[in-house]
Chain A
Amino acid sequence: ETGVTQTPRHLVMGMTNKKSLKCEQHLGHNAMYWYKQSAKKPLELMFVYNFKEQTENNSVPSRFSPECPNSSHLFLHLHTLQPEDSALYLCASSQGLAGPYEQYFGPGTRLTVT
């Protein structure tokens, strides 16, 4: 999984904390994504960036704030989270947004909100 890396792999935070998740892709891709994966729920697409411009925000609460400084890096800033935000957060990248391009995923950050 050296193509897409995510740090930290595990994070425990209180509801009043501020933390950030980091994603880096080494594949030369142009598009990057944040997904939320909760137990017994479908994969939820949160944000999409293409050439570091946000192209999609799927009604994600403002306590999640993405940042994409360049095509290789993606951050997810977290503040005043709720216990229901506990989940596996996955970053992915792809060569393009549409067409036959598959997405490559990082290992995820397991987030626990206490």
Chain B
Amino acid sequence: AQSVAQPEDQVNVAEGNPLTVKCTYSVSGNPYLFWYVQYPNRGLQFLLKYITGDNLVKGSYGFEAEFNKSQTSFHLKKPSALVSDSALYFCAVRGGFQKLVFGTGTRLLVSP
């Protein structure tokens, strides 16, 4: 069975500092991995995805994620956080033809 874990309910970071939101997964076969962001009272917004190839994936708003097969992780990163990055972040995984499974979400709080 597929699963995805976001071990931190909340991540706090000061504006201008780098941020990391963690995600680990379990899937049969090669994974397709996704990150989404949700702002208050809005739907989930697609940020980036890993399909194959380069382990470092670049996405919207300066976000990137690093795929690590040996650690089964797909952490979301940004070199310099903005207050406007404060939101709820979801990691999701799909193995081949299986359905998409979402993590429970991590709240990112960027302080001025």
Give residues in A with beta carbon < 8 Å to B.
1, 4, 6, 42-43, 45, 48, 56, 88, 90, 92, 97-100, 102-108, 110
Contacts and interface: CB of A to CB of B under 8 A. Distances in A.
Contact of B43 (A45, A48, A90): A90
**Which bucket holds chain B's interface residue count?**
20 to 34
Contacts of A6: 43
B22 interface: no
Contacts of B94: 98-99
Chain B interface, >50% SS class: loop
Interface string B26-66: 00000010101000011111100101000000000000000
Interface of B: 32, 34, 36, 41-46, 49, 51, 90, 94, 96-100, 102-105
B106 to A, nearest CB: 12
A45 B103 CA distance: 12
B46 A103 contact: yes
Contacts of A105: 36, 43-45
A98 B97 contact: yes
A88 B39 CA distance: 13
Nearest to B49: A102
Given A90-B43, A108-B42, A110-B41, A43 B102 contact: yes
Contacts of A48: 99
Nearest to A45: B99
Nearest to A56: B99
